[in-house]
Amino acid sequence: MESRSHSRSALTLAALGIVYGDIGTSPLYALKETLNPAHGIAAGSETVLGAASAIFWALMLVVSLKYVLLVLRADNHGEGGIMALLALARQAVAQRPRALRTVVLAGMAGAALFYGDAVLTPAISVLSAVEGLSVGTHVFEPYVVPLAIGVLTGLFLVQQHGTASVGAWFGPIALAWFAALAAGGVYQIAQHPQVLGALHPQHAWWFVTQHGFASFAVLGAVLLAFTGAETLYADMGHFGRTPIRLAWFGLVFPALVLNYLGQGALLLRVPAAVSSPFFLLYPTWALYPMVLLATAATVIASQATITGAFSLTRQAIQLGYLPRMQVVQTSSRAYGQIYIPVVNWLLFVLVVAVVAGFGESGELAAAYGLAVTGTMLVTTLLTFYVIHHGWGYGLPGSLAATGIFLLVDAAFFSSSLLKIVEGGWFPLALGSMVFIVMLTWMQGRRSLLARVGVSDIPLTDFLASLMAYPPTRVPGTAVFLNASAHTVPHSLLHNLNHNRVLHERLVFLTVRIKAEPWVPFADRMRIEPLGNDAYAVTLTFGFKNRPDVPAALEGLGPQFGLAFEPMQTSYFLSRETVVSSPAVDSGLPAWREKLFRWLSHNAGNAVEYFNLPANRVIELGSRVEI
């Protein structure tokens, strides 16, 4: 019992940094932007109470009720996140074609918008922390952007080495950060306790309803208080539901509420502090230590988002929504510690461009909201399909569970759409590009497999004919990778045509990725004897498993009487080169057909993706017209 309690405490501490790093840095800019005079709401004591109240109830509704109590229940075998939820919703509506199409398109849109979040979180978080230097003196103002870019450059450079060594510091630093948030809030509340009246919902209702169109526009700033809420769900597989809930209700939520109320108390006393209510919350002597702590906290928040982008990309690759990319495992013990070079450097270029282009955290706030609320809206929609079709709840019950959240998410998303001209265009444009890539890859692969399937030959019939007059058989095992378990691999036909020999043992291998995060090692292999020392083997992995083919064959083969000697096993691959043909209708517009050919040409090598030994691989190519 004691060891279980200690383990839960350790997980709760770790969750502070990884799960709550993003939402924990929102006090740096959320209330400041909510009370921005540009929204058209006149400043005053009632306005301050209304803004603080709106933020409190947004955290209560969106984070506490929606994510912590509802969405965390929609786990895919213990895993969370937009891709895990999409896989769960796909299973729930698999027999309903129209609903399936809606679910897949919505899931891809949510995943695409997450990449906008992955760019904007490091940019706005680090920039807002470094801006604290200019609160004490204007001397630092010209250096804010260069310093922020320097911090971000170091962050992206360290990704290739893995973050396991510094990850141990995330929890303690986050603990110190939340303690500082609470302390600063209590310090100001004690001087003006009237701010506690903001806990009454009437102030929030007044703030978001009594200013006409300005009330609707200001929602786009209130939502900045719960950016990062999606991370609660995405990281459930790493920490479990209970530690995430304990961390939220035990420390994070109280610390955030105290800090926002403290900022409100400060503004009730000193309205001019609206220029930087977070850093002015603290005594003068604490300013620069808080800047350092805030910078460390924003680096942690940024790291969590970057890691999330890597994890999302790998899941999308294995579920068939993105082409293969090089995935580097940076830790032998922690499966989640991965590094994807293409994603890392694309994010770096975009983050630096955003920081240099926007220049201030306030300018980034408009862009940030659209990416966050778009993903949240999709999460609620997919949760409805899981509750209704997956869990079997009736329509009234499913709507009761998700309807209010759909309305809240839609209101916040609609408000953020007003900011398109002011910067909201950026996540929308980035998300649209990622969505088009995902859709093109998925539809292009479907068209490609259909074209390849036209010339497929049944495997059992072919082997029966071949073994009637067998060619020379040479020592060793030949593993032919094939998309279909019951058709002849093109690599076998090419090998027979050119080399005119067969290996003593033939293995026709098909790799499947299930819409589940993990497949137990003992359940990954299925073998069907075909006679004449030939076998059809199916390896099944979850979308979060590493598809290490040699390890699976060598580890599981002996259980089925197949021993795979590494130096006696050769892997034969077919690589299709996609070419255009006017006579073939791919179902894609011409420009997307060109995009698919480019993606196919630049997709990562199957050798690296399946961890095949390069010196034991024979790759045979073919041209496929689409």
CATH of the domain at 332: 1.20.1740.10
Q: Whole-angstrom distance between the N-terminal and C-terminal Cα of the chain? A: 61
Does one domain contain both 394 and 463?
Answer: no
Given 367, 400, 418, the domain boundary residue is 418
The reply to whether 226 and 366 lie within a common domain is yes
Q: Are residues 161 and 59 in the same domain?
A: yes
Q: What is the 3-state secondary structure (H, E, C) of 261-287?
A: HHHHHHHHHCHHHHHCCCHHHCCHHHH
- CA gap 32, 51 in Å, rounded: 10
Give me the residue label for tokens 């502070």. Answer: 16
In a domain, 429, yes or no: no
Cβ-based burial of 381 (10 A; exposed 0-12, middle 13-18, buried ≥19): buried
Q: In this structure, is residue 446 part of a structural domain?
A: no
How far apart (Å, rounded) are the C-alpha atoms in residues 133 and 465? 78
Q: Distance (Å, rounded) from C-alpha 129 to C-alpha 355?
A: 13
Tokens standing for residue 532: 């004449």
Per-residue model confidence (pLDDT) at position 1: 47
Q: Is residue 427 part of a domain?
A: no
Q: Copy the structure tokens of residue 461.
A: 């019939």
* Residues 308 and 402 grouped into a single domain: yes
**Which regions of the chain are under pLDDT 50?**
1-3
Given 360, 391, 418, the domain boundary residue is: 418
Cα distances (Å, whole numbers) of residue 520 to 407, 410, 525? 40, 39, 10
Residue 408 shares a structural domain with residue 498: no
In terms of domains, do 82 and 186 share one? yes
Residue 133: phi, psi to the nearest 5?
Answer: -60, -30
Q: Are strands 534-542 and 525-531 parallel, antiparallel or unpaired?
A: antiparallel
Do both 179 and 116 map to the same domain?
A: yes
> Distances from the Cα of 499 to the Cαs of 471, 561, 615, 617, in angstroms?
10, 28, 18, 15
User: Which residues are paired to 388 by β-bridges?
Assistant: none
Identify the three-state secondary structure at position 40.
Answer: coil
Which of 451, 397, 442, 429 is closest to 586 using CA atoms?
451
Instruction: Indicate if 390 and 464 belong to the same structural domain.
Output: no
Per residue, what are the HEC states of 84-104?
Answer: HHHHHHHHHCCCCHHHHHHHH
**Crossing angle for the helix pair 395-417 and 361-385, to the nearest 10 degrees:** 160
Nearest CA to 191 among 112, 126, 282? Answer: 282
pLDDT for position 335: 57
Residues 66 and 199 both lie in one domain: yes
* 144 and 45 belong to one structural domain: yes
- 182: in domain: yes
Query: CA-to-CA distance for 408 and 284, rounded, in angstroms?
Result: 39
CB atoms within 10 A of CB 289: 11
Type and span of the H or E element at 562: none
* Residue 438 included in any domain: no
Determine contact, residues 545/317, Cβ cutoff 8 Å.
no
CA distance 311 to 378: 19
Instruction: Determine, yes or no, domain membership for 603.
Output: yes
The answer to whether position 433 is within a domain reads no
> Is 385 in the same domain as 315?
yes
435 within some domain: no
Domain end position, chosen among 391, 418, 445: 418
Q: Are residues 378 and 465 in the same domain?
A: no
Give 592-624 pLDDT, tens digit per residue: 989 998 998 888 888 888 999 989 998 877 777
What are the backbone dihedrals phi and psi of residue 606, each rounded to the nearest 5 degrees, phi first?
-65, -25
* Torsion angle of C-alpha atoms 552, 555, 561, 565, degrees rounded to 10: 90
Query: How many Å apart are CA 158 and CA 167, to the nearest integer?
Result: 12
Structural domain range at position 269: 2-418
Distance CA(600)–CA(577), nearest Å, equals 8
Supply φ then ψ for residue 589, to 5 degrees. -60, 160
CA distance to 19, 151, 156, 173, 332, per residue, from 168 (Å)? 14, 20, 18, 9, 16
- The single-letter DSSP state of residue 605 is P
Look up tokens 């009761």; give the residue: 400
Beta-carbon count within 10 A of 612 CB: 21
pLDDT digit string, tens, across residues 399-446:
998 999 999 999 999 988 888 888 889 999 999 999 999 999 999 888
Q: 487-491 long-range CB contacts below 8 Å, 24 or more apart?
A: 487/453, 487/456, 487/457, 487/458, 487/459, 488/456, 488/457, 488/458, 488/459, 488/462, 489/572, 489/574, 490/452, 490/574, 490/620, 490/622, 491/572, 491/573, 491/574, 491/618, 491/619, 491/620
**What is the C-alpha separation between 129 and 346, in angstroms, rounded?**
23
Residue 334 has what pLDDT? Answer: 56
| Residue pair 104/333 in contact by the 8 Å Cβ criterion | no
Count: domains in the chain: 2
AA letter at 306: I
Q: How many residues does the chain have?
A: 626
Residue type at position 271: P
**What span, in angstroms and rounded, lies between the C-alpha atoms of 228 and 218?**
19
